[in-house]
Structure 1
Amino acid sequence: ALALYRRAASLPHLRVSGIACHIGSQLLDPAPMAEAAAKVLGLVDRLAAEGIRLDHIDLGGGLGIRYDDETPPSVADYLAPLLKVFEGRSEELCFEPGRSLVGNAGLLLTRVEYLKPGEEKNFAIVDAAMNDLARPALYDAFHEVVAVTERAVVPQRYEIVGPICESGDFLAHDRSLAIAEGDLVALLSAGAYGMTMSSNYNTRGRAAEVIVEGDALHLVRERESIESLYALEQALT
């Protein structure tokens, strides 16, 4: 890193102004971030000793949210050890706390197409799939699933799966739900790494995005159509 900064500082058309790091995501303990910040400051001070002075330090994101039973720290508790590390410093401190801002502000709404009972497992096949919310299939990530309509029936345990022909096309495992075919269910905490990680796998259009503001609904991204998926393709001539 020192060599790169020296090289950048020697170039006439560049102005070296800051440093950025990212140690991970969904952090629930502020201690690793404070440790990383101390190491970054060590490099900043070595650069300053050589006349390369930085005016801002970006520590990236990382602050976690509650998906299941996690207990993320408050913003104040998360920042407290960092502020001690930066006490007396003049650099501007930057963060990128995207997940903590939007993660629990979004959900994926999907409809139950079929209920398929089995000897060992029951399956709820929904019209959303791994292309809409990739985190469960990619990371075995947990998203709480809730029924939109309350039903006075005995809940059953279901595997929540999509209609894509992939054994990994699941959204949740072993969830207790009182649902029927045609019901809507919501997968919570989908505001971060939801739409941004979605794809058109199996020629599936991405879902619409709607912002709810009080009693008002705002369509901010239209549902993709088959025509839109083919719009950039050209036939061979």
Structure 2
Amino acid sequence: MDETTFHRLLHRPGTLVDAGAHDGLITIPLARLPSSRVLAFEPLPAAAARLRAALADAFGALPPHVAIHQAALGDRTGEAMLAMPVLDGVRQEQWASTAKDYAAHRSGRVGIERFTVTLMRLDDFGITDLTAIKIDAEGAEYEILRGARETLLRCRPVLTIEIEERHRQGSTWSVPAYLDALGYDVMFELGGDWFPVCALDRATMQRASPDPAVFEASDPYVFVFYALPRENAAGLLARLRTAA
């Protein structure tokens, strides 16, 4: 199940957050959900510009129920350094990260562009109707969740999170553990079945090169995880299984 389908099936009216919106692949479907208000966070300047253009093209104008923040989310406010690898002269925007600098992978093929970006905490927005979050942050997932702790406890949204050991070693343990402490069940979907995160075999399901110049990954490669508030998890999971 892809992230868009997950959010569509479990949609409730309210505010939805897209952290790492890039150029709108998920922002636009979220904005089309009924009675939704979307907060999209994209720190990379070029991607944020394309996000604005894509939304205007999809809706005829920039929709008033979507707010674009050219910023990264984290556990503090201020500024952060965003590093983006450049492979053979081509910017690898999907690898841009505030959590690592790629210095270990600099080579004749791999260069690095750096940007100073605004850093924000989700808790500082004081949201009271948050129903869903999507996070794609190349290793910064833990900090984003730390900065959203009070909002998660107050609103109990559902979450989709891309977590990869290649971006941050130990993250497939630490991020689910943090969510567990907040009363969330974390799981993944594979072949139409749903599994708790404890069933993840990292040696066979999370093997991938951290080097932007090396395209190597396990098959299957499980990197999208789903988090459901424990008090509602059984019913929500039943809905997902029925839809499948």
| TM-score, normalised with respect to structure 2 | 0.23
Structure number having the greater helix percentage: 2
Rg larger in structure: 1
Structure number having the greater strand percentage: 2
